[in-house]
């Protein structure tokens, strides 16, 4: 193989890997309050037939901005049983009470009636959910209170 052909092959191979990497990186889709996001939870072992509640917890480590004070940086999402006994469908509506941020599932709670439940913390390898809430308010910079007679 000539040096030219070898160099051409290496360049094409390098470009090919660069294109493959670029195709794997997908732009984040901003979600907004009212949007529905979908997940599936599968469980194994234990008394699966006695599970009554499955809840996802979404949280953003992003600090709440000054113009979104009063909003939250976390929210729950409920799941429903499916025809498959160990699988739950989670269709979660993003509430209008959350601040801007990148949200992830920080834990899953599994319950079996009142006062029986367990929280499963973990890295669920779910892509971040970027949420943009247009709800903002420019709060006053100063507040003064005086007594009235």
pLDDT in tens, 17-40: 333 333 333 446 899 999 999 999
pLDDT, position 140: 92
pTM: 0.76
34/134 Cα distance (integer angstroms): 12
**Higher per-residue confidence, 61 vs 94:** 94
pLDDT, position 28: 65
pLDDT digits 0-9 by tens, 80-109: 999 998 999 999 999 999 999 999 999 999
Please enumerate in sequence order all residues whose Cβ is within 8 A of that of 88, keeping only pairs 6 or more positions apart, or say none. 40, 41, 42, 43, 51, 54, 79, 80, 81, 82
107/75 Cα distance (integer angstroms): 11
| Domains and their CATH numbers in the chain | 30-131 (2.60.40)
Q: How would you class 145 by CB atoms within 10 Å of its CB: exposed for 0-12, middle for 13-18, buried for 19 or more?
A: exposed
pLDDT, position 76: 97
3-state secondary structure 99-148: CCEEEEEEEEEEECCCCCEEEEECCCCCCCEEECCCCCCCCCCCCCCCCC
Average pLDDT for the chain:
84
Cross-strand partners of 120:
108
How does 74-83 read in b/e, with b if 16+ C-beta sit within 10 Å? ebebebeeee
pLDDT digits 0-9 by tens, 49-59: 999 999 999 99
């Amino acid at each position: 193989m000539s040096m030219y052909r070898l160099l051409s092959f290496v360049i094409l191979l390098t470009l090919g890997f660069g294109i493959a990497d670029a195709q794997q990186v997908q732009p984040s889709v901003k979600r907004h309050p009212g949007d529905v996001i979908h997940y599936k939870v599968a469980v194994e072992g234990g008394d699966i037939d006695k599970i009554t509640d499955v809840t996802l917890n979404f949280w953003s480590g992003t600090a709440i901005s000054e113009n979104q004070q009063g909003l939250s940086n976390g929210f729950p999402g409920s799941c429903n049983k499916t025809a498959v006994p160990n699988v739950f469908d989670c269709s979660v509506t993003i509430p209008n009470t959350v601040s801007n941020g990148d949200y992830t599932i920080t834990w899953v709670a599994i319950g079996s009636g009142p006062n029986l439940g367990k929280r499963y913390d973990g890295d669920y390898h779910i892509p971040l959910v970027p949420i943009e809430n247009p709800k903002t308010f420019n709060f006053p910079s100063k507040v003064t209170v005086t007594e009235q007679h």
